[in-house]
Structure 1
Amino acid sequence: MGDAMKIDTQLPRNQAEALLANLREQYRLSLNELWYADRYRYVPNEDRHNQILANTPVMAAQKRLIGAISHSLKAVK
């Protein structure tokens, strides 16, 4: 990732948890919608998630952000 960006922020725990819940829900809704889309109909189930992420940059970013927030919340406990 030669053009990667690093984003550093501080959030109160309640805001981080709310953001995480919102990101998870948005991700779930988007994945459910795309999973059954005609575009991915013939992509095997085991490859479909990765194919969707490869074609949908916002979902790939959401997935990374969900992981980062989850990790941070566990580390702060």
Structure 2
Amino acid sequence: MKQPVEISTELTQQEAELLLAELRGRYSQVLNEVWYADQFRLIPEGLRHGSILNAMPLMAAQKRLMGALTHSLRAVK
């Protein structure tokens, strides 16, 4: 079983929004680069995103961080 790591930080709303925008941009860029890569192109589209996340732990971490930032920003508004 994987040992979870919990991270806590305080950001201003502007910092959180900018970080979220940066993460979304990088995530989208990498996803577009690997979507049709030989390793993934034969996987059905409905399963491909999950397969990419399983093979690329950095993208999985980015996705969770984007979710946490989005949730926190909604709670502030």
Name the CA distance, whole Å, in 2 between partners of 1:61 and 1:48.
Answer: 17
The one-character-per-residue Cα deviations of 1:10-63 (angstroms, maximum 9, x if unpaired) are 001111000000000000001000101011111011000000000000000000
Residue 32 of structure 2 is matched in structure 1 by: 32
Name the CA distance, whole Å, in 2 between partners of 1:19 and 1:46.
Answer: 28
Name the CA distance, whole Å, in 1 between partners of 2:66 and 2:44.
Answer: 25
Q: What are structure 1's unaligned runs of at least 5 residues?
A: none
Tell me the C-alpha RMSD between the 2 structures: 0.9
TM-score relative to the length of structure 2: 0.96
Answer yes or no: is 1:49 the counterpart of 2:49. Answer: yes
Q: What is the total number of aligned residue pairs between the two structures?
A: 77
Answer yes or no: is 1:6 the counterpart of 2:6. Answer: yes
TM-score relative to the length of structure 1: 0.96
Q: What are structure 2's unaligned runs of at least 5 residues?
A: none
Name the CA distance, whole Å, in 1 between partners of 2:22 and 2:7.
Answer: 19
Name the CA distance, whole Å, in 2 between partners of 1:47 and 1:75.
Answer: 31
